[in-house]
Amino acid sequence: MRLSEYAKYDATGLASLVRTGEVTAVELTRLAHQAHDELNPHINALSNSTKMLRRLLARTKGSSMVCRSFARILEPPKLDASRRREAACSKAIAPTPTAFSFVVPEPLDSALSGEQQRRSSAHPE
* Footprint of another protein (CB under 8 A): 2-7, 9-14, 31-32, 34-36, 38-40, 42-47, 71-72, 74-77, 79-80, 82-83, 86, 91, 115, 118-119, 121-123
Kindly write down the DSSP assignment for every residue of 26-69, as one continuous string: HHHHHHHHHHHHHHHHHH----S--HHHHHHHHH--TT-B---S
Least Å from the CB of residue 62 to another protein: 22
* Residue of 2, 55, 51 whose CA lies nearest to 27: 2
Least Å from the CB of residue 50 to another protein: 11
Least Å from the CB of residue 48 to another protein: 9
